[in-house]
Structure 1
Amino acid sequence: MIFDPFWSIEQLSERFARRELSSVEAVTELVRRIAALDGRLHAFCQVDEDGALARARAADEARANGNSTSPLLGVPLAVKDIFDQAGHGTHAGSNALNDRLPIRSANAVEKLESAGMIAIGRTNMVEFAYGGWGTNQVQGAPCNPWGLDTHVVAGGSSSGSAVAVAGGFAPAALGTDTGGSIRTPAAWCGIVGLKTSVGLVGRGGVVPLCPTHDSVGPMTRTVRDAALLLEAMVGSDPRDVATWHVPSVRSLTTIEDGVKGLRIGMLHERDLAGVEPDIRMLHDRAIADLTALGAQFHKIALPLSISDYLGRGGDIMSVESYAFLSAYVEHPDSPVDPVIAERISRGRDISGPAYYRLLETRRLAQIGFQEAAAGFDAFVAPGSHRSPVPLGEVDESQPPNHFGRLVNYLDLASLVVPVGLTSNGLPAGLQIVVRKFDDALALRIGRTLERERGGLFVPAPGLLAQ
């Protein structure tokens, strides 16, 4: 048997179909790899070896009997510890939720398992998903596979999910994104991450942080794999009213259509201030490649400054997080990290009328952006303005990603794809931002770049031979 832990979903599925590999063999190899390496990477807070092997045996039997044609049948999946899984504790990275034991799985988990995927384990994350660096003072911070020697952070809050995919533990993972929580770790770990349109993928069974901004999305090694997961997850969720009247998205039908004739915006210099030179170079090179493939790039003027989007989105996040999580931070014996508790507690001082004004200001900002973006199909930005740093150099008072919150604040969708390495050998990403429910277009643009370059994901060299 030949097995590569860095195979994509499509590569795994092809080998399953040709009977060159079984799901049991794939799960066994990945569990062995996790046992050998996760002591250094700290991607998982729980690994369900017995349950995963049982589901793998069922998948192999279904395949042998011709009972399923799903390309996701028997494919392992890592699940962020913010999604409910029946019979497994959901802690959202916090000891405050140690007693939470759901009897029903989250909508996204149910749909992916119905398509045949095998949840192999639960991944570590920033406490309550309220942070972008990928740190967790309570349960430990996952280590970026590209920075093992100095424990470079992975980005957050979906830190463990990104590390699981980049580290060769699972070909796909579930993440959530409230202000960059899928996109920052995707950019920093060199994988693909999709912040979906709110309402496209149901959030039932997900611990809420900021419901006006929260979204669920896939983290994978290829753009096509992200599209496969998206198609399996879209649709109405009885537990999420935002999904009840949403058009279906068939991203795979247009994913190979290329970019010829598309008008894509690129940010003005004022909005790119502070972007590290190597990241800017890789960003510009990706634009040049897409231009050569027929895309038309023009400057787009954002109505507000990047700092305005950061601040306004943060205020709404504080109010809504306090509404849902105040009981955990107000308790005198609260186990919540004081940094996280302080972020949540800011919402205590924002009144109801002030919150309403924040929402109205957001609505007007969305209108202003749509007017500025008229005539554009999408716009691009760096996946993050900076590279990740060693854990000991993290400054929690500074934003890890200037280009995260604006997408959620403006109610857009965004795909991050890897576009190369900096001179320090760390990954950088390109963010492809589209209008709400144009997720398929973001995937199409990202896939065009992926196809042109013969693939975008590259495994970290320190993990190849292990």
Structure 2
Amino acid sequence: MTFDPDAPYPSLTALADAFRDGQAAPSRVTRAHLDRIERLDPRIGAYQAVYAEDAMQAAEAADRMIAAGNWLGPFHGIPFGLKDICDVEGRVTTGGSRAMVDRVSPATGTLAHRLFAAGGIMLGKTKTVECALGGWGTNQHMGTPWNPWDLGAHRVPGGSSSGTGAGVAAGLAVCGVGTDTGGSVRLPAGFCGLAGLKVTEGRLPTDGILPLSQTLDTPGPLARSVEDAVLMFLAMDGVDGWCVDRARRDGTGLFAALRAGVRGLRLGVVTERERAVCTAEVLDAYDAALAVLRGLGADLVPFETPHSFADLTASCGRIIAIEGYANHGHLYDRADLPMDEDVRGRMLGGRGVTARDYLALLAERAEGKARFVALMQGFDAVLTPSMTMTAPRLDEVDQALAPGHFTRPVNYFGLCALSVPSGLSPAGLPTSLQVIGKPHDEAMTLRIGAAFEAASPPMPVPLD
């Protein structure tokens, strides 16, 4: 089949094959994405900054390398977006704050270095909630990206990786970097119809990323399919491209997991207590997803937890606020700085906490994690909706509520999880399934997500 390099929404997987086989050139695909950004991003607002000239120079260099037989691997030549809390030396990293619009990055972080070393083409910096503290994706001063699934009403894209979610969903990047402290990869994935991987605590480096909570922060990929997310994750993990290509060809490593199916797996499902917080359309999509996995041979069993997800979410939020205030409180203590007032309220919730109380919270977390992981030993994974509702209109958002009911507990216990699209609601908005895995069992979450994805109708795209 001939590959069309100008078609919107190319998959990372298809591009990797097309670049390797000479059916497409990175420069042409990058140019197509930059043209699409120029045409659509004034409406979507996914990018904080676009680096068109540098992106084309990098793409043309990739053309020459690949033509000379120096293909680096599946991420070589892939246009991606980088969340604007990630440092690239000499570039401004605003952290989503007008108070930091002149902050020039002193050095490039390890994660960005790895993506460049794998041959990735950075299109630009994607927008974020200020200081990455917020799950809806809103930003009072720098702009809230539009969720591309509804151009008639301004719906939130999810946060805090709002620009990455909206940009990838709108076809303004093949994939993108997000960070996840309480759901900030999985919520944009869920609200925007993408695959988003939250890795185990400590699995990927965080140096060169503006911290929100050093205890909970984890970077991760957002992409349009599970396999695309895997290819980006491996680049972020620093795996040599030739190793990734060989594993993909041989069906080993994570690629073996993608094809293993779910027959015989024991999967936990949420109880009535947790279902009660969800809207009817989310529950309908969740039940339909469970039916698909049951039909594939999985054994579904209620997963009882000693603490409600709401309690775990609140505990996670307290740690975020305390550590967030330690990192950024000096900005929010000043009334003269143009800070987002919604974020200010959340950030100042961490002010005045004693060291004794903070250490008690961390001890409580460690004890709770041990109990929760012990409960998971009888399961291969736990399944929840990614969010309790589909994307609300911006003017309907209640900033006093956090949308991470099902996502924050994963960060609180340092687990891994995958959000994968589960279809569209009757209103045409994405719904999403979250697959929660044990620590360092990303392979299982990806295995289940891939099986579900393969058995489901293809996810449509919001824009042509």
- State the alpha-carbon separation in 1 of the partners of residues 7 and 306 from structure 2: 47
Is the CA contact 2:199–2:218 (under 8 Å) kept in the aligned structure 1? yes
Other-structure match for 2:183: 180
Q: Give 1:425 shift.
A: 0.9
Is the CA contact 1:202–1:235 (under 8 Å) kept in the aligned structure 2? no
Letter in 2 for 1:95: R
Q: Give 1:231 shift.
A: 1.4
Equivalent residues in 2 for 1:37-436 (5 A)? 37-234=40-237, 250-436=253-439
Does residue 17 of structure 1 match 2:20?
A: yes
Is the CA contact 1:91–1:97 (under 8 Å) kept in the aligned structure 2? yes
Other-structure match for 1:245: none
Q: Give 1:314 shift.
A: 1.0
Select 1:36's aligned residue among 14, 34, 39. 39
Is the CA contact 2:72–2:119 (under 8 Å) kept in the aligned structure 1? no
Q: Give 1:372 shift.
A: 2.2
> Gaps (5+ residues) in structure 1?
237-248
- State the alpha-carbon separation in 1 of the partners of residues 118 and 127 from structure 2: 24
State percent identity of aligned pairs.
Answer: 37
Letter in 2 for 1:262: L
Other-structure match for 1:246: none
Other-structure match for 1:458: 460
Q: Give 1:371 shift.
A: 2.6
- State the alpha-carbon separation in 1 of the partners of residues 444 and 317 from structure 2: 28
Question: CA deviation digits over 1:283-306, x for unaligned, max 9?
Answer: 111111111112111111011012
Give the TM-score taking structure 1 as reference length.
Answer: 0.94
> Gaps (5+ residues) in structure 2?
240-251
Q: Give 1:398 shift.
A: 1.5
Cα 1:67–1:398 shift into 2, 3 Å: same
Question: CA deviation digits over 1:187-210, x for unaligned, max 9?
Answer: 110011011111111111000001
Question: CA deviation digits over 1:47-98, x for unaligned, max 9?
Answer: 0000000000111111001112401110101011011112210111002222
User: What's the secondary structure of 1:274's corresponding residue?
Assistant: coil
Is the CA contact 1:231–1:250 (under 8 Å) kept in the aligned structure 2? no
Which sits farther off after the overlay, 307-316 or 326-335?
326-335
Is the CA contact 1:42–1:142 (under 8 Å) kept in the aligned structure 2? yes
Q: Give 1:332 shift.
A: 4.0
- State the alpha-carbon separation in 1 of the partners of residues 166 and 313 from structure 2: 26
Question: CA deviation digits over 1:292-346, x for unaligned, max 9?
Answer: 1121111110110122012111111111011111221123422211221221122
Other-structure match for 1:240: none
Letter in 1 for 2:138: T
User: What's the secondary structure of 1:326's corresponding residue?
Assistant: helix
- State the alpha-carbon separation in 1 of the partners of residues 259 and 49 from structure 2: 37
Q: Give 1:17 shift.
A: 2.6
Select 2:450's aligned residue among 419, 424, 447. 447
- State the alpha-carbon separation in 2 of the partners of residues 167 and 117 from structure 1: 19
Q: Give 1:235 shift.
A: 5.6
Q: Give 1:104 shift.
A: 2.1
Letter in 1 for 2:257: T
Letter in 2 for 1:82: I
Letter in 1 for 2:53: D
- State the alpha-carbon separation in 2 of the partners of residues 58 and 209 from structure 1: 35
Letter in 1 for 2:37: I
- State the alpha-carbon separation in 2 of the partners of residues 268 and 390 from structure 1: 28
User: What's the secondary structure of 1:286's corresponding residue?
Assistant: helix
Is the CA contact 1:78–1:120 (under 8 Å) kept in the aligned structure 2? yes
RMSD: 1.5
- State the alpha-carbon separation in 2 of the partners of residues 145 and 419 from structure 1: 17
Give the TM-score taking structure 2 as reference length.
Answer: 0.94
- State the alpha-carbon separation in 1 of the partners of residues 373 and 416 from structure 2: 13
Question: CA deviation digits over 1:397-420, x for unaligned, max 9?
Answer: 122232121110111111000001
User: What's the secondary structure of 2:49's corresponding residue?
Assistant: strand
- State the alpha-carbon separation in 1 of the partners of residues 5 and 374 from structure 2: 53
- State the alpha-carbon separation in 2 of the partners of residues 308 and 316 from structure 1: 13
Is the CA contact 2:111–2:206 (under 8 Å) kept in the aligned structure 1? yes
Q: Give 1:374 shift.
A: 2.5
User: What's the secondary structure of 1:134's corresponding residue?
Assistant: coil
